[in-house]
Amino acid sequence: MEANTQNQQNQKKPTGQNRRRRRPASPKGEASAQPAAKTVKAPQGEPRKKQSQGESKKAAPKRTAAAKTQQPTKEQSGTSRTRRTQRKPKGQGGKSQTPLRIIPLGGLSEIGKNVTAFEYGNDIIVVDCGFAFPSDSMLGIDYVIPDFSYLVKNKDKVQGILITHGHEDHIGSLPYLLKEVKAPIYGGVLTLGLIQYKLDEHRIQGVHLQRIKDGERVKLGCFEIQFMAVNHSIADAYGLRIKTPVGDIVHTGDFKIDHSPIDGKKMNLSAFARAGDEGVLLLMSDSTNANRPGFTPSEQRVAESLDRCFADATGRVIVATFSSNVSRIQQVIDIAEKRGRKIYFAGRSMSKIVEIASELGYIRLKKGSQVDDRRLDYLEPDQVVIITTGSQGEPMSGLVRMSRDEHRYVSLRAGDMVVISASPIPGNEKAVSGVIDRLYRKGVHVVYHDTMEVHVSGHARQEEQKLIMALTKPKFFMPVHGEYHHLLSHAHTAMAYGIPQENIMVAENGNVLELTQDSFQVAGEVPAEPILVDGSGIGDVGNVVLRDRQVLASEGLFIVVAAVDKNGKLVSGPDVISRGFVYVKESEALMDKAKEVAKKAIDAVTAGEEHVEWGALKSAIRSAVKNYLYNQTKRNPVILPIIVEVDSGGKK
């Protein structure tokens, strides 16, 4: 049954307050026969670590997701549990009644930085470890990563890190976590190739990378994880079936159901169906396209549109896409080779990922198809295609530099065709629109998602989401991977499908969720504030620094320099300097008056005083000059007073 999205506002919000309900009987013949899956053991030499002393903490009081007005208790560390040599209480079906803890540290109510911890007793496994790109207001910030403090405090419990696929929002934070937590990483061949490249960039060595294939199982502590192939916009994407002491969990990862994928590898739906037949306690499912009805189109549709673009182009073709979208890059390569065009990869990240994917067999290039910088200018316009980054308007990407005439090797000209083979990630719409405008001003023919189907999403829509629910038949449901409205829409789809409202959990980053056979509820919180990465600095840029950067960018800087003696008496100046506030030559009267205001403020503070606190003097200058400048200009630049102490002879 379709979810009535128009009436979502009138529906009650799904919660995690749960009631017991009988599992529906599995329809016969739903799952196809599946051979026994191979089990991969944890690497030797990495025994289970003992729990560190001082970890024990009184359990936080439980609350349900319905109790939104109650503030959850902060947990500074993991709860101490007896080693598994002690017998656990068993419930129905031999399942433990000790709750499993699920702790999302990112990826909820946002796009990006996906990471979730699963904890039982002395064992923790981590699923994905990505970063997010900064918003426009985060000036100077390179990346946003999750707060890993909970995992660092419990690092001796971490048995392994499971990566569903190789996109940056799932692997980008690994170097930052691995500097603090040592654990093996499990993932597909291409995924681990991209991870190794990232670790090399950060000069991190000694990490065990274990390659996994479809159907293989990994035993990590009390957890057994089966990898199940899914379709996505990158090869080697997997969902996970996690067997835990309380029951089975299915985590879809990022997925869609493509019956005609470019690489010919279809989603392993039979593995999902088998999990459903054997019993799924909790389904955690991709919510990115939860507000879109129907099915996500196949990648084959994109190939047809791209081929039409190449057929119509009389000059150069420049295709911008994600460097990690290996299938899309292969599509462009195949069409270019068919139509006799040479291929040039523009940009370091694009070239490196193509190199890695080629070495691993995920990209196929005919001999002589690729050209380098030196040959590019000697080719006729209708003999070349340029594949580059910049589909999201990233400031330093290839397409953006081309649009600004800043690219070292490629200068756009009238007659070129630019194909933006991606849709904007939420928050990037303005940047992408600006790039398109600049391209049109150059006389370039621009093709993008609004004008032709040159991109399809790698995420499932509502009908695919309901199909996964039908196959897995979960008792509890938790939407993941999406902004809040995506999660809520997915929850309504689950209710429309037939999952009871009280069995649906719409969680937040940092929630400590406790799962048993009969309940699923919020029991506390851990730190989960975003950590900002600026160059080599991690977490040293906070809201105050960001606010100063925003003011500097919008209002400018006004510096007041004064030389005073040891008693605070003015010896020379004050002088003023403006940067990004006013044009000095056109504002001499304003600058002179600001000097007078600063001098009066200094005289007022030092009058009759033998000794003056520099802090009080700076504060008086800042306040007086700020008020004057605002009254004159209605702007608030950053006021920076600089006091230099000199002796009466003018020496410092």
What is the set of active-site residues? Answer: 286, 459
Sheet of strand 217-220: strand arrangement: 39-41, 217-220, 223-230, 237-244, 247-251, 282-286, 476-480
Angle between helices 269-278 and 462-472 (to 10 degrees): 40
* HSE-CB for 11 with a 13 A CA cutoff: 19
DSSP code of residue 504: B
CB 150 within 8 A of CB 173: no
CB neighbours of residue 253 within 10 Å: 25
- For tokens 């007086």, name the residue: 624
Helix (H/G/I), strand (E/B), else coil: 113:
coil
**Burial track 511-526 (b if 16+ CB lie within 10 A, e otherwise):** bbbbbbbebbbbbbbb
Separation of alpha carbons 111 and 103, rounded Å: 17
Separation of alpha carbons 96 and 89, rounded Å: 6
Helix (H/G/I), strand (E/B), else coil: 592:
helix
Comparing CA positions, the residue from 323, 319, 361, 362 lying closest to residue 343 is: 319
CB 181 within 8 A of CB 150: no
Tokens representing 490? 């997915």
- Beta strand 511-515 pairing with 476-480: unpaired
CB neighbours of residue 605 within 10 Å: 18
CB neighbours of residue 167 within 10 Å: 24
Separation of alpha carbons 1 and 543, rounded Å: 45
Tokens representing 345? 């990869």
Tokens representing 220? 């990590």
- For tokens 């990648």, name the residue: 299
- Beta strand 638-645 pairing with 557-564: parallel
- Beta strand 384-388 pairing with 317-320: parallel
Name, in order, each residue with C-beta under 8 angstroms of 7's C-beta and a sequence gap of 6 or more.
none
Comparing CA positions, the residue from 93, 476, 487, 152 lying closest to residue 289 is: 487
Helix (H/G/I), strand (E/B), else coil: 439:
helix
426-430 contact pairs (CB < 8 A, 24+) = 426/111, 426/483, 427/111, 427/133, 427/135, 427/136, 428/133, 428/392, 428/393, 430/136, 430/393
Separation of alpha carbons 487 and 348, rounded Å: 35
CA angle (464 as vertex; 460, 470 as ends), nearest 5: 140
CB 201 within 8 A of CB 195: no
